[in-house]
Structure 1
């Protein structure tokens, strides 16, 4: 059976479908991020409490990752990914009617469970179905979909919140996501290199143990934790910074700030190619260094510098994530689904934990406190990627 490779129609269908699925996942996952100040005002809660509407979703998603790979082994990759996208879209419509913050947080947690059926399985699909020489580019395009989804979702939410309300904004995004979920099911090619199989609990645990067996692979999981923790913390609290003095931007203009995600769309594909020539460890170090420069630039006075800094920060994050996520498949060829799930478990745990902790840094030290926290995470990521590179070379 042939693999998906560049130049074939099914390759284009597959990459565009995965791009669309990633778009839906990230648009829904961070729906409430740009409207956190509005949630704080409407429900009379602190920024830390409002941020739980993001952390609850990513935390539930992270935990659910442990079980999703086993379900996909039984039910099938395409079927599970399609069901995940459709259910999460339906739940987005329900979230729009939340009567209180506790109810909204609970629904967002359920939404996180539903979303768990897409990200890790999509990574496994890429590693299984694409010809190896094309897999890196396909993964880069998939990660580009996450950046575009995050960007467009935030822009739509911000603009519609200003024009109508945050409820109308979330409802609209849910309907759009339902339409995209239908197209995903229609156009994604059926897997040719996967056969559904029923594994016992013991076999599932054994596969998870194998996916945790290499220290360097666990190190890559740690990179996901650090990179995503810093990324979500930055974008959780930059909304508070930009809607307050001296900027006092409207939700529409705060949403437009997320156009810097376009830089991530380019950098994820570009850094995937750089990794082939410089190596994955060096590429991640370069990406993290770019993010460090960017987050430091946001401390300068003036809105222009804030935007430039966020753009650089986003370039580095998406480049590093694209390389780290593709590294997982290389280091765990026999347990790709489980390793992908564990990577994303750490990835979204970082989003949930560090994103919530960042609220304390914001409350006590405002934006400089957030910058110090995020900068420390990316310095650690540079050191960790260097160690992983040496460990991989030593094992080889």
Structure 2
């Protein structure tokens, strides 16, 4: 067993490692220091995982009007192609967090990305609506092995002084994947078919999964734990008993619910008169995700420098303004509103994700799983409920519903800030 002096000597020869003594266990940990090659590889690998997850998950969103027409289902029913995936993903996050504590992070994330990519290709081949929904549910379950585990990996392996920036880049990958999934499927569906569009996204996901496996450095600070169900339940309830963390979990639910609802039903509004957009034009609107990519990265840097609890409510306020602007009739104003919503959402989400890693005391995978449970339940529940508001009273009702969600999330963010300051 090498001495501490020998360990320091070896580590000093590795510029990609930053030694920090953990207050919790009094052991030195080897963090990935910002600016080193290992840090950049890890950040880009997690970028690819976020890209793949969101492109696979949300590629069906611009296809909902086509599903409604081709399969003869209502707008709310067509949203099940997304809501079932996010709902099962939320449930699977719990399983993934427990499994990753025992078997590690890297291999689980790779298997999840590969399996979900194959499911997307299977969706392209199925002729039956119910079968498509079953495969999408399975795909969501498989994708549960990525988000919470990725956040836990970053929290464990990255120098805390650079965590906001690396988490911001991971969220930027989410944004880029969400954009690519929507834009590519929209264009391919317009010129070829929705089946070819899904097959293309599935192949892109396989390539991203391979790149992720090649680039991601092995865990250095992960310690496998043999545990029973009681251990995991105690860990989850321990995080829920932290009121600031519990409010962050609620913010994930509310923000994601509002964001997905706007994106789900904006398509139904814009393919109808007076806009009459085709699938390519509708898909191109999702290029506003580029603003989300920049916002998530910038929010991570700003949070590290000025304080995460200052940046998060600012992002929520920008999202509220964006939802209000979509009430205007001109197409340019609707797009502007979606841009503002996207910027505000990714600012708040990026910062909230980093805060979960900072505020969690131990078992960071469990804390991440609770945040993402709320996050994806918001997508699943609010995304479907919003369809009833759309059917009942059109876009005004959708804006009222999502605006209420965002205002409650703002109140939660301000309360969480006060609680964290007291702590």
TM-score range for the pair, normalised by the shorter chain length: over 0.9
Equivalent position of 2:191 in the other structure: 163
Equivalent position of 1:144 in the other structure: 172
Higher mean C-alpha deviation, range 265-274 or range 169-178 = 265-274
Contact persistence 1:280–1:389 (CA under 8 A): no
Q: Distance in 2 between matches of 1:131 and 1:277?
A: 15
Spell out the pairing of 1:136-285 with structure 2 (5 A cutoff): 136-285=164-313
Spell out the pairing of 1:1-396 with structure 2 (5 A cutoff): 2-395=30-423
Higher mean C-alpha deviation, range 73-82 or range 98-107 = 98-107
Q: Distance in 2 between matches of 1:275 and 1:17?
A: 22
Tell me the CA shift for residue 276 of structure 1.
3.4
Q: Distance in 1 between matches of 2:210 and 2:290?
A: 25
Aligned length: 395
Q: Distance in 1 between matches of 2:307 and 2:207?
A: 39
Tell me the CA shift for residue 306 of structure 1.
1.0
Q: Distance in 1 between matches of 2:126 and 2:81?
A: 12
Q: Per-residue displacement from partner, 1:255-313 (whole Å, max 9, x unpaired)?
A: 00001001111111112222234433332211111111111111112111111111011
Tell me the CA shift for residue 202 of structure 1.
1.5
Contact persistence 1:282–1:386 (CA under 8 A): no
CA RMSD, Structure 1 to Structure 2 (Å): 1.0
Q: Of the two, which has the highest radius of gyration?
A: 2
TM-score by length of 2: 0.92
Q: Distance in 1 between matches of 2:108 and 2:411?
A: 37
Tell me the CA shift for residue 4 of structure 1.
1.0
Q: Distance in 2 between matches of 1:202 and 1:361?
A: 41
Q: Distance in 1 between matches of 2:348 and 2:304?
A: 13
Contact persistence 1:18–1:142 (CA under 8 A): yes
Q: Distance in 1 between matches of 2:183 and 2:83?
A: 20
Q: Distance in 2 between matches of 1:192 and 1:276?
A: 23
Contact persistence 1:228–1:347 (CA under 8 A): yes
Q: Distance in 2 between matches of 1:267 and 1:7?
A: 21
Tell me the CA shift for residue 174 of structure 1.
0.2
Q: Per-residue displacement from partner, 1:57-84 (whole Å, max 9, x unpaired)?
A: 0000001111111100111100101111
Contact persistence 2:253–2:379 (CA under 8 A): yes
Q: Distance in 1 between matches of 2:239 and 2:125?
A: 40
Tell me the CA shift for residue 98 of structure 1.
2.0
Q: Distance in 2 between matches of 1:292 and 1:17?
A: 32
Q: Per-residue displacement from partner, 1:314-344 (whole Å, max 9, x unpaired)?
A: 0000000001111111111312100000000
Q: Distance in 2 between matches of 1:132 and 1:356?
A: 37
Q: Distance in 2 between matches of 1:151 and 1:131?
A: 29
Q: Distance in 1 between matches of 2:245 and 2:225?
A: 25
Q: Distance in 1 between matches of 2:164 and 2:225?
A: 27
